């Protein structure tokens, strides 16, 4: 079964909006695990507008499933944070300073040498590495030669076109995954996956190791409750 990693950035955003510690980020992470999530994801950014760097240290103490830290590895502070906490997985995202949300994958051809170097840094520390990529065959092929263990497919395009033509929306991802499997890469996915489009994605993407979902899941939890929402997402991943 595909693992569900809950991205708790939005919980931190809500907390930060009023100061103090309500909601309690650490308690929410514990509850997500208790309710069935198989991982916790955070994406700290330099301005700490949601996840703060100190949050990562506190979460590392209590996460008992799989801890995934994603972010911009071109920021030395991020690299230092990951190495200090040694999560099970680091996901490398080509963000720029001040970016609202991740909106593209790596150009794994242009950045091949850089990715080889930085991936080696994390793997030498015993951390599994996943890199954010678009569903483009050439980018997947080049990702395989960086030393990365997995790719995380950027699924915004799939989500955007799902309701127009779901077969056409999924087709580039099916081809990209076939190439990734051929190259020996593990498969993660994330961005704009939700209760409407997740099941179809999971059913059509073989060997999908993990999905990381935050914004939609936390938004749904406002209506359905966190425990029920996590269970609803888990059911979408049953093939």
Query: Known catalytic residues?
Result: 43, 70, 191
Supply the Cα-derived Rg of the chain in whole angstroms. Answer: 17
Looking up tokens 């209506």 gives: 223
Q: Which structure tokens are listed for 75?
A: 């920021």
Reference 226, options 235, 238, 217, 215; nearest CA is: 217
Report which secondary-structure segment, H or E, holds 174: helix 166-182
CA-to-CA distance for 74 and 76, rounded, in angstroms? 6
* CA dist list (Å): 63 to 6, 39, 78, 88: 12, 8, 19, 11
DSSP-derived 3-state class of residue 67 = strand
Beta-ladder partners of 93: none
């Amino acid at each position: 079964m595909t693992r569900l990693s809950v991205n708790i950035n939005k919980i931190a955003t809500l907390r930060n909006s009023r100061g103090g510690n309500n909601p309690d980020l650490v308690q929410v992470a514990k509850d997500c695990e208790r309710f069935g999530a198989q991982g916790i994801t955070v994406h700290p950014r330099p301005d700490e507008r949601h996840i703060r760097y100190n949050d990562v240290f506190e979460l590392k103490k209590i996460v008992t499933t799989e801890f995934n830290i994603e972010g911009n590895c071109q920021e030395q502070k991020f690299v230092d944070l990951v190495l200090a906490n040694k999560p099970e997985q680091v996901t490398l995202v080509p963000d720029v300073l001040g970016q609202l949300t991740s909106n593209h994958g790596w150009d794994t051809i242009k950045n091949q040498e850089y990715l080889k170097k930085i991936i080696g840094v994390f793997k030498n520390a015993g951390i599994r590495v996943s890199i954010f990529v678009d569903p483009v065959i050439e980018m997947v092929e080049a990702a395989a030669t960086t030393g990365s263990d997995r790719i995380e497919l950027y699924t915004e395009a799939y989500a955007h076109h799902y309701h127009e033509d779901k077969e056409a929306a999924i087709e580039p991802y099916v081809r990209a995954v076939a190439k990734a499997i051929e190259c020996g890469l593990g498969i993660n996915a994330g961005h704009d996956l939700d209760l409407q489009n997740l099941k179809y994605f999971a059913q059509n993407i073989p060997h999908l190791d993990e999905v990381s979902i935050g914004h939609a899941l936390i938004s749904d939890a406002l209506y359905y409750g966190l425990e029920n929402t996590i269970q609803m997402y888990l059911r979408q991943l049953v093939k």
